[in-house]
Chain A
Amino acid sequence: MRADHQAVLLRRRVFSPGFFSVTFRAPTLAREIAPGQFVMLEVAGRLRPYLRRAYSVADADPDAGEAEFLVRRIGPGTAALEDLAEGSEAALLGPLGNGFSLAGLPPRARVAVVAGGIGAAPFPLLFRALTAAEIPADLYLGGRNAAELGFRSRFAEIVPGETFLSTDDGSLGEKGFVTDAFARRADGGRGPLYARVFACGPMPMFAALARVVQRLDCPSEFSTEAAMGCGFGACLGCVIPATEKPFVISCMEGPILPPGKIAWEKI
């Protein structure tokens, strides 16, 4: 059930400047969270940031009662988390949103995970679920430059398949967009190599990837990001232009959405 969990910060791990993870003690949340779901996190007592921030849960360990988040410092919300002292509390409202789906995959299916920059955030927990279900998966991790692949070491031993790194400037891995790196391999000759694609990243990456997966007719789940005021359907701030109606409410109908539901031409 959705609840506001008071959680103690256990540790912070810095991957590269501005890229870090925070792990909280949050036993109930760690037990209930599913891959792709998120929480609204509040560092108490602050007027700036005033609103909570949405964070996908990166990983959860029900036995240890821990929940981890991957964070990139971009503004006052993430800076507050970077400054939070170990042993301090934050409030984690969740689990929120719908989560990725592994249901209905055909036998011996292979899936792909496509992540741009901080879009890597929700995937350790998904890889945990894929590994448990014995579903092979490849990771396509891209960014503008090597610094944006700060989290690559977090995925070093958890991907049940291959990892392909790419950067726009060629400073690490293949040179070019992550969507191109994916597109080069995804077409298995007779239809797509992958039975499903899970993706998270900035809107331009999504828009490009939507064209690729549509061409391949490959079912996909995008973890969308929109500025959220509340995270539970009250403020209606996080809407995304949609195909079958004017808008989808990202926090309630998503954040995981098939690309066909999104009106890309309106974004």
Chain B
Amino acid sequence: MTDPALRVRLGPLELANPIVTASGTFGYGLEFTDFVDLSELGALCTKGLSLRPHAGNVPPRICETPAGMLNAIGLQNVGVEAFLAEKLPRLRTLGATVIANVWGDTEEEYVAVVEALQDAEGLAAIELNISCPNVEKGRMLFGNSPTATASLVSRVRAATRSTLIVKLSPNAPDLVESARAARDTGADVLSLVNTFVGMAIDPVTARPRLSFGTGGLSGPAIKPLAVRMVFQVARALPGVPLMGIGGISDLSDVLEFLAAGASAVQIGTANFRDPGVSGRLVKELAVYCADRGTAVSSLVGRAQRIGTGGEAGAEG
């Protein structure tokens, strides 16, 4: 079932619908097959893949916070080789549109992972995680300085013909500058935002609730921040295809991000609470469009056209 009203185009990436599941919240997709028909999603983003298997952080790794959660999983993953051998073939059989999320500790590692994925059949795109705030060495820098972002993205761009998505960090000092750097050096699509660095402390013991100390905040708590950031980047860089991410749990959230300027959205933490939510949102969006005789593409950026009373970023 593909509904032409739901089709979206993000640069070279065409998706049957704009509902994508976010990296780190959807495993390798295979964990969800009891709850979602993977072939009905716009795409799924895999757990962040590294050159070698990675064990991740010691527990406690997660902690609930008001309307969301903190995580410091530490990028546990099976490694790109096992992904290609064990996961991707099954995802292809299930008809999933797959976006491989990739990370490394150095530019060389990113390039090596991307090269390993180069000849894999059935990958729709590669998404670079330049923004995971959880592992110490170096990676904070890729997303947090436009220079480091530009250097990494151009290296990766030179190494692959695949559609390249760069996932931006909301912790960057100037998100628009980071977005511009990624676009100028070869990103086809920008996804935003990754988690916000946060912290929770046990009030009795005064210890951080996560063993890592800090963690990435996600869930509905970050939604207004993420909407503002999508709106801001869409306004500053018109024409750059965006995937909006941040606390999306229901249809109205999807519509809000589309209106802000995202051509597609990623569903993240909501997958934990409600593993069937992504498939349901595809159906609800189809009903919404049919009822109004509209197409998703015409819902994108409506808020940009209407404008705001003031500049995004005003703190009132």
Mark A residues whose CB is within 8 Å of B: 1-4, 42, 47-52, 93, 226-227, 229-230, 232-241, 245-247, 266
Instruction: Tell me which of A3, A234, A240 contacts B26 (CB under 8 A).
Output: A234
> B11 at the A/B interface (Cβ < 8 Å)?
no
From residue 245 to 296 of chain B, which have CB atoms closer than 8 A to chain A?
269, 271-276
Residues A230 and B272 in contact, CB atoms below 8 Å apart: yes
- How many residues of B sit at the interface, in one of the four size bands? 20 to 34
A239 near B276 (CB under 8 angstroms)?
no
Q: Which of the candidate stretches B51-59, B89-97, B124-132, B181-189 sits at the interface with the other chain?
A: B51-59
Closest Cβ of chain A: how far from B149's Cβ, in Å? 27
Cα(A1)–Cα(B34), bound, Å: 8
B65 proximity list for chain A (CB < 8 A): 50
Within 8 A of A (CB), among B231-246: none
| Contact of A236 with B32 at beta-carbon distance under 8 Å, contacts A51-B272, A93-B275, A247-B55 already known | no
Closest to B21 in A: A234
B-side contacts of A49, CB under 8 Å: 64
| 9 closest cross-chain pairs (CB), A and B | A237-B62, A246-B55, A230-B272, A47-B67, A234-B27, A2-B34, A234-B31, A233-B31, A229-B272
A232-B275, A235-B73, A235-B272 are known; give 5 further A-B pairs, CB within 8 A.
A42-B274, A48-B64, A51-B272, A230-B272, A239-B56
In the assembly, what is the distance between CA of A47 and CA of B73, in Å?
22
Flag if B69 contacts A51 (CB, 8 Å): yes
In the complex, whether B17 has a CB less than 8 A from a CB of chain A is no
Identity of the chain B residue whose Cβ is nearest the Cβ of A1 in the assembled complex: B34
Please name all residues of chain B whose beta carbon is closer than 8 Å to the beta carbon of A93 when the two chains form the complex.
275
A88 to B64, CA, bound (A): 24
Q: Name the B residues within 8 Å of A238 (CB-CB).
A: 59, 62
What CA separation (Å) do A249 and B155 show in the bound complex? 35
Interface SS of A by simple majority = loop
Chain B contacts for A239, CB-based, 8 A = 56, 59, 61, 76
Q: Which residue of B lies closest to A91 (CB)?
A: B274
Could you tell me if A234 and B64 are in contact, using CB atoms closer than 8 angstroms? no
Chain B minimum-CB-distance residue to A246: B55
Return A265 CB to nearest CB of chain B, in Å. Answer: 12
With A42-B273, A234-B27 known as contacts, the answer to whether A227 contacts B34 (CB < 8 A) is no
Contact call B58/A236, Cβ cutoff below 8 A = no
**B56 engages A234 (CB within 8 Å):** no
Given contacts A3-B34, A247-B56, contact A234 B25 (CB under 8 A): yes
A232→B73 CA distance, assembly (Å)? 15
Residues of chain B with a CB closer than 8 A to A4's CB:
35, 274-276
Q: Judge if B71 is at the interface, Cβ distance under 8 Å.
A: yes
Contacts of A236 in B (CB 8 A): 56, 61, 73, 76
B69 shortest CB reach to chain A, Å: 6
A234 in contact with B34 (CB, 8 Å): no
A235 near B71 with CB under 8 A, answer yes
CB pair A48–B26 under 8 Å, yes or no, is no
